[in-house]
Amino acid sequence: MENTKPCKLLVTGGLGFIGSNFVRYMLNKYPDYELVNLDKVTYAGIPENLADVEADPRYRFVKGDITDEQTVNRIFEAGVDAVINFAAETHVDRSISNPSQFVITDVYGTYVLLEAARKFGVKRFIQISTDEVYGEAIDSPCLETGPLMPKSPYAASKAGADRLAYSYFTTFEVPVVITRCGNNFGPYQYPEKLISLLITNAIEDKPLPIYGDGQNRRDWIYVTDHCRALDTILHAEGIAGEVFNVGARQERTNLEIAHLILELLGKPRQLLTFVTDRPGHVRRHAVDVEKIKQKLGWQADTSFETGMQLTLQWYKEHQAWWRNIKTGEFLAYYRKHYGLN
Ligand code: NAD
Ligand code: DAU
């Protein structure tokens, strides 16, 4: 998309973890941009995540569902230059216990946004896909051209949305770009995900639940690096219809991460608790990031260790934020899922 200002962005799912980091990043970087955040405010959409930008005249929040055509069309009628579609059900475990909303939001919701983009026209549509669409990275990090073998209902729904978005490029010439990022970590991550759960449990001296043998590996990226990659992709020219992996090539086993968190917080390893494994648990996710490096000149610049220091500091300093979340719906889910208190 050409960098013509001012620019009107539709960000969906902006009250979630990555979306809220992205909205703040863009408002800070581009004084002339206007952002509309369409978010349903599910359990994972936390209004406090963007409380600091609520009064900014360049930012508008719309409470609504991406599956609701009327709401989506109304936003497009007012003018949208580019869409960044973060909105999704995102937690793999929840997709195993209750898949339906994943299919509805992640697939049908993406369809509604793509239809609006086709009808009203946009300069760019970034579909935030995920490295989970590849399934196992067996011998080496997955390439953009590799097969999609998603293993959970979450990953399969995201793969459906990923390919649907591509079809809107090939069939209707909607200028779609698809990103497949690895595991993000950093401030504002809902404390159901591995790193945010382990940090907050460790601070509370609660057990740290580890699935299986703890040897599953993920490819971790600090969230601000991901936001920077999306900014690069939003403004790059000549990439419509392409897929870009995004990652920092920082693979860690879950057990390595748990040990590091306990060490940095000065807590005992006795807090580690091995629990029943996740069904269909992917052993290794990892993405090859040469394409985005070579073609767009982007690469991550926050090391895993620096990112962990920043993240730990943030969770230590924002205890009201996560303690408030770790009540009600979260506690009910947590107790049922882990059988822990
Ligand atoms: P999150 O769960 O923290 O936030 C999701 C947001 O989407 C919430 O604010 C929620 O209210 C909103 N939402 C859900 N359903 C909606 C609907 N029907 N209509 C409008 N809003 C809705 O998610 P996240 O971890 O920030 O992930 C954001 C995106 O990035 C997702 O598409 C996810 O698949 C993708 N992704 C995440 C990671 C990761 O490590 N977190 C990695 C790669 C890709
Ligand atoms: O790879 C990108 C994906 O990363 C995103 O698309 C997803 O939206 C995001 O949730 C994340 O999926 P994961 O399943 O990899 O993240 P999660 O934090 O749930 O789990 C990370 C690893 O930690 C995984 O191997 C499972 C393990 N785990 C997780 C939890 C919550 C545990 O051992 N114990 C736990 O309690």
**Does the structure show a pLDDT above 70 at 94?**
yes
Question: Whole-number mean pLDDT of the chain?
Answer: 97
Which CATH topology does 187-218+250-280+303-331 take?
UDP-galactose 4-epimerase; domain 1 (3.90.25)
Catalytic, 33? Answer no
Pocket test residue of 15, 41, 42 for ligand 1, highest count of atoms within 8 A of CB: 42
d(CA 157, CA 104) in angstroms, rounded, equals 9
Q: Which amino acid makes up residue 12? A: T
Neighbouring CB atoms inside 10 A of 335's CB total 11
> Could you tell me the residue ranges of all domains in the chain?
8-184+221-246, 187-218+250-280+303-331
pLDDT tens figures, 102-154: 999 999 999 999 999 999 999 999 999 999 999 999 999 999 999 999 999 99
DSSP per residue, 62-77: EE--TT-HHHHHHHHH
Q: Whose CA is nearest to atom 21 of ligand 2?
A: 194
Of 1-15, 22-36, 117-131, 319-333, the least confident: 1-15
d(CA 104, CA 67) in angstroms, rounded, equals 8
d(CA 96, CA 304) in angstroms, rounded, equals 29
Catalytic, 333? Answer no
Per CATH, the architecture of 8-184+221-246 is what?
3-Layer(aba) Sandwich (3.40)
d(CA 204, CA 200) in angstroms, rounded, equals 6
Q: Whose CA is nearest to atom 41 of ligand 1?
A: 184
Q: Give the closest ligand to the alpha carbon of residue 209.
A: 2
Q: Give the closest ligand to the alpha carbon of residue 185.
A: 1
Q: What is the position in ligand 1's atom list of the atom closest to the CA of 221? A: 40
When pLDDT is cut at 50, 70 and 90, the band that residue 341 belongs to is confident
Asked whether 191 and 228 are in contact (CB, 8 A), the reply is: no
Over range 306-321, report the average pLDDT. Answer: 98
Element (H, E) at 225: helix 223-235
| CA angle, 132 then 300 then 226, to 5° | 50
281 CA → ligand 2 middle, Å: 9
Residue 77: the pLDDT is 98
**Does the structure show a pLDDT above 90 at 240?**
yes
**Does the structure show a pLDDT above 70 at 5?**
no
**Does the structure show a pLDDT above 60 at 39?**
yes
Contact 326 CB / ligand 2 (< 6 Å)? no
Q: Whose CA is nearest to atom 20 of ligand 2?
A: 194
Over range 45-72, report the average pLDDT. Answer: 98
Q: Whose CA is nearest to atom 34 of ligand 2?
A: 210
Catalytic, 329? Answer no
Options 34, 132, 192, 251, the catalytic residue: 132
Options 65, 106, 131, 219, the catalytic residue: 131
- The set of protein residues with a Cβ atom below 6 angstroms from ligand 1 is 12-13, 15-19, 38-42, 44-45, 65-67, 86-90, 105, 109, 128, 130, 158, 181, 183-184, 190
87 CA → ligand 1 middle, Å: 5
